[in-house]
Amino acid sequence: MNFELVLQIILVVVSVALVFAILLHKGRGGGMSDMFGGGVTSGLSSSGVAERNLNRLTVTLAVVWGGIIIALGIMSRFSGDF
């Protein structure tokens, strides 16, 4: 299996996970999480632990997503497939 293909598959999984993590954030002023019934419940958000962990997860997923995009860009630049 090609390493580039593995990165592309991981990119799809990370992209879907990032979308779900963003939708789970507590809506501020009619966000998407309220529309779909998601978001952190008010009982959990009072402590802030769940909100902080969700923020960390979202930032981590975004950094991984960006790293994969850069790696795939560099790989395609030097592979000769344009």
Does 37 reside within a domain? no
Structure confidence at residue 52 (pLDDT)? 87
Q: In terms of pTM, does the model score above 0.85?
A: no
49 has a pLDDT exceeding 90: no
- The range of the structural domain enclosing residue 60 comes to 1-24+47-81
Does 56 reside within a domain? yes
Does 58 reside within a domain? yes
Does 38 reside within a domain? no
Number of structural domains (the chain) is 1
Does 67 reside within a domain? yes
Does 33 reside within a domain? no
Structure confidence at residue 34 (pLDDT)? 52
Does 30 reside within a domain? no
Using alpha carbons, select from 52, 57, 47, 72 the residue that is nearest to residue 19: 57
Q: Which helix (H) or strand (E) holds 34?
A: helix 32-35
User: CB neighbours of 51 closer than 8 A, spacing ≥ 6?
Assistant: 26, 40, 44, 45
